Amino acid sequence: MKHIVLLLGVFLGGLTSLIAQKSDSGRLLSVGEASLYYEVSGKGQPVVFIHGFTLDRRMWEPQWQVLQRRYRVVRYDVRGFGRSSRATEPHDPAEDLAALLDHLNIERAHVVGLSMGANIALHFATRYPQRVLRVVAADPNLDGFTDYTPELFGAFGQVFGAVAQKGWSEETQRLWLQTPLLRLQIPTVAHQTLLEDMVRAYSGDQFINPAIAALNYGQPPTAARIDKLEVPVLVIVGEKDEESIQRIARLVAQKAPRAQLEVVPKAGHLSNLDHPKYFNRAVLRFLKK
């Protein structure tokens, strides 16, 4: 149970050495002893995309292709995911994001996150309000939130049980993909393949050793800081997202002083993949204001 609560905080919840190394179309930025993989494209106001738990920067492909026509878009792999280095100790994701913005000479940016990424975006906006233009918090998790449904606890419990017996195996990955948080409501072959590729590439560290690989959002938790948010916030949630996430979305929309709520019809937890055209229109409208 302790591991499930801790991991929900990750999913749902130092000195920087700014040295960038090229890696294929992206680059690696050294942050202390860690490295962050990132990609940049387009021109205009900066927009930073932060991915969800067990996924990576590629989940934003439907948004990346559209927004780079009008904005300078940045997407990166959170430490412990994708091509970034594996997490070896609890760390503050806001510090990593601040280091990335410093390296790219970005003073202020729009920050768009989904699930774990939305949690990081909200956390960052309360820690560094002077560096944020607007926040899009899609299907958000929120550290400090505790009103999760028994169904979500049960889903995580099943995955933890599978990890304990078989590690982050293909069978465990299939089980994870079948949970409400990873199951697409409007699947396409391309998006389903992308989703499976990202889960397959994930190390499993946060399931295997969450005490070491956890994200450290600090105290008080982000849930207790939402009412201090100074920037405009667009909360997006899929109509068919898991009830726990629906509760978080409503909470953020109610507590953040300058928030608005957008419900994506027929979409689940991965609303940007379920209904990308609707998602993109909502984001573009919000960023133009």
Residue ranges per structural domain of the chain: 2-288
Provide the 3-class DSSP secondary structure of residue 96: helix
pLDDT confidence of residue 24: 44
Q: Which residue has the tokens 């940007």?
A: 272
pLDDT confidence of residue 23: 38
d(CA 135, CA 142) in angstroms, rounded, equals: 14
d(CA 180, CA 87) in angstroms, rounded, equals: 26
Q: CATH topology for 2-288?
A: Rossmann fold (3.40.50)
Q: What is the pTM of this model?
A: 0.92
Taking the chain (289 residues) in consecutive chunks of 10 residues, what is each chunk's mean pLDDT? 51 41 70 93 98 98 97 97 91 96 98 98 98 99 95 93 94 96 96 97 90 83 96 98 98 98 98 98 96
pLDDT confidence of residue 25: 66
- Residue type present at position 164: A
pLDDT confidence of residue 29: 96
Report the DSSP pairing between strands 46-50 and 34-41: unpaired
Whether 247 and 239 have beta carbons less than 8 Å apart is answered as no
Residue closest to 39 by CA, chosen among 94, 95, 82: 82
